[in-house]
Amino acid sequence: MTTTAETSGRKAATPRRDRTHYLYLAVIVAVGLGIVTGLAAPDFAVQLKPVGTAFVGLIKMMIQPVIFCTIVLGVGSVRTAARVGKVGGLALGYFLVMSTAALAIGLVVGNILHPGSGLHLTKAVASAGHAQAAGAGGSTSEFLLGIVPVSLLSSLTSGQVLQTLVVALLVGFALQSMGKAGEPVLRGVGHAQRVVFRVLAMIMWAAPVGAFGAMAAVVGETGVDALKSLAVLMVGFYVTCALFVFVLLGAILKLATGVNLFSLLRYLAREFLLIVSTSSSESALPRLIAKMEHAGVDKPTVGVVVPTGYSFNLDGTAIYLTMASLFIANAMGTPLSVGEQISLLLFMIIASKGAAGVTGAGMATLAGGLASHRPAMVDGVGLIVGIDRFMSEARAVTNFAGNAVATVLVGHWTGSLDRARLDRVLAGHEPFDEATMLDEEDLVVTPPVPTVGAASPALQPA
């Protein structure tokens, strides 16, 4: 005879059926419908742009709360601040190396293809270039000063990821030093994290509508003619991004950790679909944080590497800056020498840090960098305005893949990666919970915060 306890136990052990695959099938259908609508009724399709913008805005609304909760819980639970510093220093060093590699690959491919030859510059194109330059980010000093928020709470509403990162680290270190006294606050942040991820899961059900509006608008605005005339640059850029991700990143990941890149990308397939449909890597940032934690990378590492990478590990943007600069120079009949290429692009990759978080940051950084370094080339930026959205998708996908790989690598190098769990997750044995975006053990927050006396004997009362 089966008891009530046994029956309830079996029910508890039965996993919930994942119906979110219908959601992402709907996104694919919506993207297809958006393309058809953009081609068939371009004027109507352009009017749908606010639909896509609103969906991306809803996702961005959740980015800073997700980052704050993740970092506070992670940093507040570790034993020493030095470990967080090690993760951050290693991540920044890796980002610098990979940005340089992305620049080099873009230079090589750009010099092989010679994109832009034969195009002609009109007054309308030149004015479009100057309009983009006017919207570029500020100087590096302004960027650095912008990291400091106006107030503690404004860091959660400013829209600046690095401001949230700074405040969350300070709060995390403060709770870490409080020992047991900080545990109630950490539990509260843990419950807040559950609410944030639940809201995010609810927003995701609007993804098909947002994808339809975004794709219809961009196809309606661009049309087929612009794609044909600039096909060489687009194809060359896509091929370069593919080489960077599948050859360079894939080799580094395999040699350093033994992890197969395709397994990692398959695990993040839904996030890539979301990025392509919205043309924004930020739309997948909260899900990347949740999925990297689920895959076995601990909270402090994920909390530091992912937000920092979204500002400093812009591999796709580096490739874009390289190839677009060569394209514009060739189109204007003033090809750059090797020395000029290196000088201009090193300047621009530094300037790109000041454009982090700016909508259309790739185009704005390109225009701003040219305006500061080679003003005569700003007119040529208008040549690629028409296809920038399609190149933006490749930039976003490449940036996202680079940050996912960086999180696994830094976790491996710092010993904060549970490799056995990662293997199980990538093999599909431990599926990601789409409903809560949190692991079962995270539902009850019991952070292993040491007592003040255990961590710092010198602080014990006399």
Q: Is residue 355 predicted with pLDDT exceeding 50?
A: no
Q: Per residue in 235-279, pLDDT tens?
A: 888 888 999 999 999 999 999 999 999 999 999 998 998 888 877
Could you give the CA distance from residue 170 to residue 76 in angstroms, rounded to a whole number?
10
Of residues 361 and 264, more confidently modeled: 264
Fold held by 21-441: Proton glutamate symport protein (1.10.3860)
Under DSSP, is residue 277 helix (H, G, I), strand (E, B) or coil?
helix
**Per-residue burial over 316-343, b = 16 or more CB atoms within 10 Å of its CB, e = otherwise:** bbbbbbbbbbbbbbbbbeeebeeeebee
Q: Is residue 348 predicted with pLDDT exceeding 70?
A: no
What pLDDT is stored for residue 20 in this prediction?
65
To 10 degrees, what angle do helices 207-229 and 388-413 make?
120
Q: Per residue in 57-79, pLDDT tens?
A: 888 888 888 888 888 888 887 76
Q: Is residue 26 predicted with pLDDT exceeding 90?
A: no
Could you give the CA distance from residue 142 to residue 140 in angstroms, rounded to a whole number?
5
**Confidence band for 8, pLDDT divided at 50, 70 and 90:** very low
What pLDDT is stored for residue 254 in this prediction?
94
**Confidence band for 349, pLDDT divided at 50, 70 and 90:** low
Poorest-confidence range of 132-141, 175-184, 282-291? 132-141
- The proportion of the chain whose per-residue pLDDT surpasses 70, expressed as a percent, equals 76
**Confidence band for 401, pLDDT divided at 50, 70 and 90:** very high
What pLDDT is stored for residue 5 in this prediction?
47
* Most confident residue range from 32-36, 294-298, 329-333, 452-456: 294-298
Q: What average pLDDT does the chain have?
A: 78
Q: Per residue in 448-457, pLDDT tens?
A: 444 444 443 3
Q: Per residue in 99-123, pLDDT tens?
A: 888 888 888 888 887 766 655 555 5
Could you give the CA distance from residue 393 to residue 391 in angstroms, rounded to a whole number?
5
Alpha carbon 360 to chain centroid distance?
A: 14
In contact, 405 and 166? CB cutoff 8 Å: no
Give the DSSP letter string of 48-89: THHHHHHHHHHHHHHHHHHHHHHHHHHHHHSS-HHHHHHHHH
In contact, 169 and 76? CB cutoff 8 Å: no
Q: Per residue in 212-225, pLDDT tens?
A: 888 888 778 766 66
Could you give the CA distance from residue 361 to residue 159 in angstroms, rounded to a whole number?
14
Give the DSSP letter string of 247-261: IIIHHHHHHHH---H
Q: Is residue 140 predicted with pLDDT exceeding 70?
A: no
Could you give the CA distance from residue 276 to residue 316 in angstroms, rounded to a whole number?
14
In contact, 65 and 159? CB cutoff 8 Å: no
What pLDDT is stored for residue 90 in this prediction?
92
What pLDDT is stored for residue 360 in this prediction?
54
What pLDDT is stored for residue 247 in this prediction?
93
In contact, 237 and 78? CB cutoff 8 Å: no
Evaluated on CA atoms 84, 88, 94, 98, the torsion sign reads positive
Mean of pLDDT values over 287-300: 91
What pLDDT is stored for residue 252 in this prediction?
95
What pLDDT is stored for residue 404 in this prediction?
94
Q: What's the alpha-carbon Rg for the chain, to the nearest Å?
A: 23
Could you give the CA distance from residue 321 to residue 71 in angstroms, rounded to a whole number?
31
What would the two tokens of residue 435 be? Answer: 């409903």
Cα angle 42-395-413, degrees, rounded to a multiple of 5: 155
Alpha carbon 390 to chain centroid distance?
A: 17
Distant-in-sequence, close-in-space partners of 114: CB < 8 Å, separation ≥ 6: 326, 330
What pLDDT is stored for residue 139 in this prediction?
55
Poorest-confidence range of 110-124, 335-349, 403-417? 110-124
* This prediction's pTM: 0.77
Of residues 108 and 137, more confidently modeled: 108
Could you give the CA distance from residue 443 to residue 434 in angstroms, rounded to a whole number?
14
Evaluated on CA atoms 235, 236, 241, 245, the torsion sign reads positive
What pLDDT is stored for residue 28 in this prediction?
85
Could you give the CA distance from residue 448 to residue 451 in angstroms, rounded to a whole number?
9
* Most confident residue range from 173-182, 329-338, 451-460: 173-182
